[in-house]
Amino acid sequence: AITDQVLQITLQLNEPGTVWCQPVLPATDAGKIDIADVDGTTYIAYIKGRTASFMEYVHTAFRNVDVEVNMLDNDDGLAATSLLSETPYNIFCFAQDDWQIEADNSALQSANYAIGNTATPSMAGGNTGNEITFVAATAVKDAIGQVITLDLTPPVITVTGIASTETTITVTAKLSETGTIWCQAVRTGFNVPTILEILDSNYNSAFTYAASPAATTTVLITGYDRPRNYDNSY
């Protein structure tokens, strides 16, 4: 992963050709393309992409080529949506060589040459090169494994309640994603603490995100670091 919405696949071919890659969801999904949708009859069309297509020409054998993917096709193939941050995906890749293109543009050709005669058993209708099999595409997918997009945005914190006693303050809060909440008490009118000062106070609570019902967590504060003013006085 190179961003929260972009995955990069680096690969090589053993001869010049063209390569396509396509992300899929690891689990069955009713609306988006998932791993079960790609099979021996659909793999070429689905990996080439029905709406979102990610392709790179490979001009030289055994040279690294980067394919970047950032969209996920819908099941119906009529639209695609951006990849989600911190989400696992599997990656299918498909490749074919340039046999028909090379044959048609060769400087020397047989007297009986015809473009229609360049088709081979490894060339599906409409393709211009020998293509990899579904078994090979699955092996590439398995070798890549699941890839998780990055999380580049901080959570949104919402304080839902504050309660206090003579010696404690309890903060009830939630985050927009799973994470940890730190809190620190500061006397009114004193400087706002730095991030390191808040972390150093060590009043924290882990939070596990749940959309419904809305989960919350509590942070119990039992003391505070005596803060200094800008001139280092108390």
pLDDT at 218 over 90: yes
Q: Using alpha carbons only, what angle is made at residue 30 by residues 27 and 33, rounded to the nearest 5 degrees?
A: 65
Q: Are residues 38 and 124 in the same domain?
A: yes
For the chain, how many structural domains are there in total?
2
Kindly report the number of other CB atoms within 10 A of residue 223's CB atom: 12
**Distance, CA of 2 to CA of 9 (rounded, Å):** 10
Coil, strand or helix at 72: strand
d(CA 183, CA 204): 6
Q: Is 43 helix (H, G, I), strand (E, B) or coil?
A: helix
**Residues 31, 115 within the same domain:** yes
Per-residue pLDDT reduced to its tens digit, 132-162: 999 999 999 999 999 999 999 899 999 999 9
Between the two ends of the chain, the Cα-to-Cα distance in Å is 48
**Chain segment 113-133, per-residue pLDDT in tens:** 666 666 667 767 667 678 899
Looking at the fold, whether 125 and 212 belong to one and the same domain comes out as no
**Residue 230 falls inside a structural domain:** no
Question: Helices (DSSP H) in the chain: which residue ranges?
Answer: 43-48, 99-104, 134-144, 195-201
What is the DSSP code string of 2-24? -SSS-EEEEE--SSSEEEEEEEE
Note the pLDDT of residue 223: 86
Nearest by Cα to 59 from 102, 25, 110: 102
Is 61 in a helix, a strand, or coil? Answer: coil
Q: Can you tell me the mean pLDDT for 204-221?
A: 88
Question: Alpha-carbon Rg of the chain, whole angstroms?
Answer: 28
Same domain flag for 14 and 106: yes
| CA 196/CA 119 separation, integer angstroms | 66
Name the pLDDT band for 110 (thresholds 50, 70, 90): confident
Tokens 């988006």, residue located:
32
* Residues 84 and 127 both lie in one domain: yes
Number of neighbours of residue 26 by Cβ within 10 angstroms? 13
Does 56 lie in the same domain as 112?
yes
Residues 61, 97 share a domain:
yes
The parent domain of residue 22 ranges over 7-148
Nearest CA-CA partner of 57 in 65, 49, 47: 65
Give a yes or no: residue 172 inside a domain: yes
